A = this chain, B = another copy of it.
């Protein structure tokens, strides 16, 4: 209840700090019988690895995952899947300086206010490295969803002022551009923009979009456990996210009802919508269309430019933050958004199994 567990049935419990011995996650509630290997996990983790391009921190984090439990003969057993990544490239000395003051835009001050002290090395528990556990858990969830024909695609939609053009959408580019943009032209522009930011000792923000395809109608609950409510929580719980949109999001507040409502259409016995302003969710429950969400991410708070702040003695000081940090968080957060969305949908899928008497009877052969 200190909030390191997420999910109702498909649950992930993450642990670990930036510069501790290791980071990890326990996935509980994954159904038995799912084929799962360390490669499945590593593929996800590799997508958030730093040190891969000019626009990410030069830190090398090998982030090799070890599955410690819950898989036997290549399949999940229904018991907790414990996964761990050892920290190997942590230079704690880089951070001894920040022990004494509060970095603007970081959790240093609030952590001290809450707990009285903190593991200041690299941000401790509030570091982006905490998402290692989320990503490993998301890999399991995504594998599970695949068994039900559900797939997720997250990508960078914008960095600073540079937006992708959906007409140039190139899925392969997500994994091959340094920006994780599915538009190579936009990506080149964004890289150039980031170079400017770095020259100015500054950083940039951006937007991540995630599309979830193949979700059957009926997932999510009608009141507090609405699928969109849980997606909002899941995504807002990623550090640096400051806004979440579902479907047309902020645009709907300016629309009229007739323009915003999606008409239902029937064809060959299947019901679908002629448009998808709703983003695949109506009344908190999936409607069978693609689920679409966006996360708005603030610029990396760690910048080299001098900033005003306060030290632990309560003096007003000026600081320039040393160390190795990304000029933009967005590309490395793409797989984290995808992971949190995957865990959320997997949880809704499992919870929905108990929603109706008639489907339950199928399970119990009655």
Contacts and interface: CB of A to CB of B under 8 A. Distances in A.
Interface residues of A, number: 169
Nearest to A352: B114
Interface in A238-264: 239, 242-250, 252-258, 260-264
A253 B244 CA distance: 12
Chain multiplicity (copies):
4
A228 to B, nearest CB: 5
A149 B298 contact: no
Contact of A114 (B3, B115, B217): B217
A68 B24 contact: yes
B109 A264 contact: yes
B253 A3 contact: no
A225 B3 contact: yes
A359 interface: yes
Given A230-B233, A266-B310, A314-B271, A116 B33 contact: yes
A66 interface: yes
20 contacts: A2-B28, A2-B221, A4-B28, A32-B355, A33-B357, A78-B114, A78-B356, A104-B263, A109-B217, A111-B222, A111-B285, A114-B219, A115-B356, A147-B357, A148-B360, A229-B234, A229-B237, A256-B299, A257-B303, A349-B360
